[in-house]
Structure 1
Amino acid sequence: MIKIEQGTYRYHTHSVCVPDITVRHGECIGLRGVSGSGKSTIGKILTGQLPYHKHKLHLPRFQSGQANPVQWVGQQCEFAFNPRWTIERSLKEAYRGHNYTHLMEQFELEFHWQFRAPQALSGGQLQRFNLVRALTPTTKFLICDEATDQLDTIAQQTIWRTIQSESDKRLLGLLIISHQIPLLNVICDHIVDMPTQDDSNFSLTKS
């Protein structure tokens, strides 16, 4: 499992109130809150991109040189790929000899699209490739940070159908960060609300 305990993350001139979040294998947790409340900060802490109190954070261990078993997919997929590389090169670097074409099929991606540069693809196509790259065989937990909020309804349905299918097969732990409350209500087992500086209690509501 991955777990973060209640506390405060401070940087520069402001701070983020951190709620209690636990994501177990095969579980889908939603995280909601107003813009600027620090939802993305939570996601980056849980992927090890930002430091946090060691005694309040539980993440799976992995050795240097290995892929992080906790993968993060953000909203701005255009910054997730090296613009000088083809999509194929990025995928092969992530998969390290493993096959990924079955996921391309599930995300409804044409085989020849992988030979293009990132800038030659639409936002929806690129985000689906971003998810393919995140769902390597070593991935145990997936954090989707507003990952589909800017996509059309059809693209969103394709993405979430595939993510849920992979989660069911592999018992992935999912943390879904989104402003779309109907989406969270449909796919999540529980929803965690981001606290504010004035909150005295952190709430956990069942969807």
Structure 2
Amino acid sequence: MPLPQLRVRSVLPFALVAGLAVGAIGCGGGESVQTYAAPKSEGGKAPGAVEAATEYRILGAMYPAKDPEWFFKMSGPADQLAKYEADFDKLLASVSLPANGPPKFDAPEGWKTGPGRAGIVVATIRTPDDKFEVTVTSSIGGVEANLRRWAVQQLGAKDFGPEDVAKVTKPIDAKGVKGLRADVRGPNNPSPKGGPFMGGGK
């Protein structure tokens, strides 16, 4: 009986040494798997990632249509303005021009009418969520000149000529006056300093 016990004791060290040898070969032999963290640019996006370009938009109107004096204007990212477009058209159709003084209009349901500012804006109409604002201003220069200013100077279009007027406008039948609705688009943010889209300027 003592003999088997001696044999077990002698086999165990040998098995332990063999196991360690195999482990050393498995860990040290060949190439090991390595991991690394991919570098990221600012904002947590991988370098070289392509972002979709934002298109900006000015929704506007001019009254009277042929020789405009009064301008309604709302600006912002094109996709965001789309949800307000139906109410904006209702606003444009409600406009009337008194013999003296600024235009009269009916604000869409939930929209908030406010006072003018800076001696240029005679009235404001804000969307129900306060994200966007329509400004009512007076200007000179005719249809094409004002559209060119919106397209080139404010939205960053490369050019705007007489042939482009019909592409971005359509007539409006308002209350006792005909207007011209405008939908102008471009790559630049027309809002001052990229801030909230308050329509600002003429």
State the TM-score, normalized to the length of structure 2.
0.26
Larger radius of gyration: 2
State the TM-score, normalized to the length of structure 1.
0.26
